[in-house]
Each structure stands twice: as C-alpha cells, then as structure tokens.
Amino acid sequence: MAAVSGCAAPFAGPNAAPFLRRKSPHAPFSATYSGFRIGPRAPIYVGNRRGSLRRSPRCEAGVDLAEDRTASRASSFSALEQFKISADRYMKERSSIAVIGLSVHTAPVEMREKLAVPEAQWPRAIEELCSLNHIEEAAVLSTCNRMEIYVVALSWHRGIREVTEWMAKTSGIPVSELRQHLFMLRDSDATQHLFEVSAGLDSLVLGEGQILAQVKQVVRIGQGSRGLGKNVDRMFKDAITAGKRVRSETNISSGAVSVSSAAVELALMKFPKSHLPSARMLVIGAGKMGKLVIKHLAAKGCKRIMVVNRSVEKVDAIREEMKDVEIIYKPFTDMLSSAAEADVVFTSTASETPLFLKEHVKTLPPVSNAIGGARFFIDISVPRNIGSCVSDLECARVYNVDDLKEVVEANKEDRLRKAMEAKAIITQELKRFEAWRDSLETVPTIKKLRSYADRIKASELEKCLQKIGDDALTKKMRKAIEELSSGIVNKLLHGPLQHLRCDGSDSRTLDETLENMHALNRMFSLDTEKAILEQKIKAKVEKTQS
C-alpha cells in the first residue's frame, strides 16, 4: 500500500470525564472527549519546531512551518522547566501508551492522503514526535487505509495535545475538521488496537496479510532511530507475535482477499460481464500492490496485461513468474498512450501527485459504447493517483480504496465468526504484554533500594576503617572487611529483592510483587516515583538543550 505524509484544542484537565470505551472496532463513536471522538479500538503526522515533513501537493491549506530555531528551543526549555516546577501534580500519573490517528473506518481517503507519511520519512517523523515536551517514545504506521501514531506520553493530556497539534500543523487540516475523524486510545485499548491491526481484524479486508508486513517494517525502521523505546518496541514485537498466531491458529486468512484482489473484484463487478474476456487491462506500477493486481487478473482468466512502470526489471521478474500471461511493458513516458489503449486502468504507485487529471483523460480516445462508453479507473494508491476531478467526466468511472467496501461486505457473517476466534488469541497476548509492562514498575525500586543500601555500607565502612587506622590495616585485612560488609548487605537484600522480581507471567505473583514494591518504598522512603519523574524531566531538558 502506498503511504504518504500528512490541532487540536487543548484537552480538559485532570477532572475531565473518564476515558470511554467503544463497543466494537467499527462501532460509531457516541461520546466525545474535549472535542475529539473517543473509542477503544482504534492512528499522525506533523512538524515540530525544527520544521516539517515534505507535504503532498494535494494539501490545499499549505502551512509554512519554518520557525526560528533558537526561539523555539528557548520556548521548549521554558515549558519543560515549568513542568518541572509543578511536577508533583503528576507524581501519580504513570506514563501512558497512546495511539492517535484515523483509518478507513473513520476518515475518507481525501483526508487520509493529507496525513499519510511516506515510509522514507518515518524516522524523521519519530524524531519530531520525540522532541515534543511530553513524548518519550513514538512510532508511525502509515498505509493506504490508516495513519496511526503510537506514543508513550509522560503526561496523557499534554502528550495527546502536542501530537494532535503536530498533526494538524503539518497536514494543514483545520482542527475543527480533523477532530471529527481522529480516534485516540490509551494503554490497554491502544495495545489491543495494534494487536488487532497486526492480525488483520481492523483491515478493510479481514485477515489481509500485507498489514503484518507493514507492522514489521515499523519495528525495522524504528530501531534505527532513538524514538522506538522499550515500551513501543516490545508492544510492536508482541503485536507481530499476535498477528502470526492468529494467521497460523485460525483460518482467518482462508479465502481472505487483499486490497489488490478486492480492486480486481470491484472491476469485475462494475464492468459488463459479457465483455470481460476481451477487456483491455492496464496496470500502472509494478510494486507489491501492482504485482498482486496482475496475479489476481491472471487468476480471473486475463491472458494479456499491459504494465507501465519506471523500470523494466520488476516487470521482467513478474513475467518470469507468470509465464502463462502475456505481460507487455511500457515506460512511464508512454503512460497516456497506454491508457488510450485500455478499457480498465489500475493505478498503484507511490506518486505524491496525481498521474491523471481531467485534461489528461479528456484527450483519451473514447472506449466502445458496448461497455458503456466509459473508461474504468481503479485507484488503490494513497495519495490517489487519479485526480478527483476526473470523476466529473462522462467518459470515466473512477473508484478508489474507499469504494472497496462494497466488495468487502460479502460473507460478512463468516468474517465475524473468524474474528471472534482471533480475538481469543489477542486477549492472551495482550495479558502477556500488560503483565510485562507492570513488572517494569519494580525495576526502579530495586535500583533505589540497592543504592540506598550501598550508601549505608560505604558510610559505615569508612567509619570502621578510620577507627582502625591505615597503619594497622594490611591490604588483605582491608579486602576482608570490604568483602564482609558487602556480604552482609547482599544477604540482607536477597530476600526483599527476590520478592521484587517477577517475569509477569503469573498475575497473582505480579500483584504480590507490586504490593511488596509499594511496601518497600514506604519503609525505606525511597520516593521512587519522584525519582523516575525527575529523571525523565532532566532527560527531556538536556535533549532540548543539546
């Protein structure tokens, strides 16, 4: 699926209404939160103070994002310092995992293409998101059907506000319009949504396999940047595991169609059946999507397909794989002349500008009246390869990815039954991830307790050595005393530390571990939560200054 690049009013404060759940992934949103649609299942792109990503020419409301770097840095530093001053307000607020975005279920293709982020620009998007004051980790998942941003936010309300402002600023979409289509999910809801996306449950076509490869790509690209921290990295890897299990342990992929096959099915539904055998097919783009279109056309009995691509190598590879089909290669310079010879045109390229506009299609020779006198354009690219203006012509019938819903509605009951089987697996994987994340809470306490004991040991050891005197101490005696003190401390700490270690696999043990953690924090006045928060704030301030 071709991907592309793409604020919100301030959120209510701590006294705002609680987060609301949506009953099903595709159910309509019935509640709003600070003006945004809220639901539990369910992604995105914007510039920060250092600039923005390159925008698509489709963005009518272009925004000049060039800002003064020095002034912006000073502003961010001031904001962080202010946050540090009032940090005790958020002492009990745990960092939240969140997903903010939109998909084929919540937004039309006209909006998705403005927010889409090309894969090559994902690292820069992650860098910009992590430079926001309250965002610790980030990942971007942008496909033709969705644009989703996953983050770990130091403060839920402020983090969400910063990300949504970033999205609106870079897309040029007014806040009032953007908020009608955005969804945002928190913690377990956000994680469950990603697991369902990876398993193909949130796809336009249930069980669609390409999304799993795209989730893997997020991890591969994200690991090359500093934004994919341990929480987001583990979440995406567990989502990949869930996606693999769903496909191997259920028959959700059996009979499932991809976006490419749905596009072919749509063309066959709309094209006069009596003329299908002689229909002239043109595929523009020989990437993954284009190759699948060619395969599905061949499976439907098409024996001759014209392919327009920038290079011949990919077309030659397809030709080698499908020797029973006559595949005719044409360079991009022959695109219009090739379209003049076609009855049906499939487009699947990563072009950020339309390949066909009204003036191009108007000059093409008419097709036979036997097929309705109109040329079919099936556009499965985001951003779209066929300009919306082409739909105004009587000589053209234009369909895009949003029109595939008509194909997908078939066998709805069977798809729902398969989804229920998959959700049982997702629930298991979700519990594993949440238990792992909960177990991380004890790590700071372990470090803090060890540091506390080591300070006492060092202080008392120094007093002891001073009383004995250097003249009376040999190296062997000093080493024995140091080992004695370390041994006593280690044996005393062994019991408490054992009760703080948990792999997260047993919920009962995990609950007991967290109780032990809170008890030790109280008994030794470790102030772990305060220390963690101060460390995070310090890291953000230092990053802003660098």
Cα torsion 32, 37, 39, 43: sign: negative
Which tokens in the block code for residue 205? 């076509």
In sequence order, the 6+-apart residues with CB closer than 8 A to the CB of 341 are 280, 282, 306
Residue 513 has a pLDDT of 66
Cα distance between residue 54 and residue 276, in whole Å: 41
> pLDDT digit of tens for each residue in the chain (546 aa)?
444 333 333 333 333 333 333 333 333 333 333 344 444 443 333 333 333 343 333 333 333 434 444 455 555 555 555 555 444 444 445 688 999 999 988 988 888 988 988 888 899 899 899 888 889 899 999 988 899 999 999 888 888 989 999 999 888 888 788 888 999 999 999 999 999 999 988 888 788 878 998 999 999 888 877 778 889 999 999 999 999 999 888 877 766 567 888 888 888 888 887 777 788 999 999 988 888 899 889 888 888 999 999 999 999 999 988 888 899 999 999 999 999 999 999 999 988 889 999 999 998 998 888 888 899 999 998 889 999 899 999 899 999 888 887 777 765 666 777 788 888 899 999 988 887 877 666 666 677 777 878 888 888 888 888 888 878 888 888 888 888 888 888 888 777 777 666 655 555 465 666 677 667 667 766 665 555 555 555 565 555 555
- Nearest of 38, 45, 13 to residue 193 by alpha carbon: 38
Cα distance between residue 440 and residue 261, in whole Å: 44
Q: What is the amino acid identity at position 8?
A: A
Residue whose entry in the numeric block shows the structure tokens 């607020």 = 93
Burial bucket for residue 176 (CB in 10 Å: 0-12, 13-18, 19+)? exposed
Cα distance between residue 242 and residue 254, in whole Å: 17
Cα distance between residue 314 and residue 447, in whole Å: 55
> SS3 letters for 276-345?
CCCCCEEEECCCHHHHHHHHHHHHCCCCEEEEECCCCHHHHHHHHHCCCCEEEEECHHHHHHHHHCCCEE
Spatial strand order of the sheet with 344-347 comes to: 326-330, 304-308, 281-284, 344-347, 375-379, 396-399
Residue 528 has a pLDDT of 57
Which tokens in the block code for residue 80? 């962080």
Cα distance between residue 485 and residue 482, in whole Å: 5
* Residues annotated as part of the active site: 144
User: At CA 314, angle to CA 309 and CA 318, rounded to 5?
Assistant: 110
Helix (H, G, I), strand (E, B) or coil at 32: strand
Cα distance between residue 286 and residue 349, in whole Å: 8
Residue 450 has a pLDDT of 79
Residue whose entry in the numeric block shows the structure tokens 């309705």 = 372
> SS3 letters for 128-180?
HHHCCCCEEEEEEEECCCEEEEEEEECCHHHHHHHHHHHHHHHHCCCHHHHCC
pTM of this prediction? 0.62
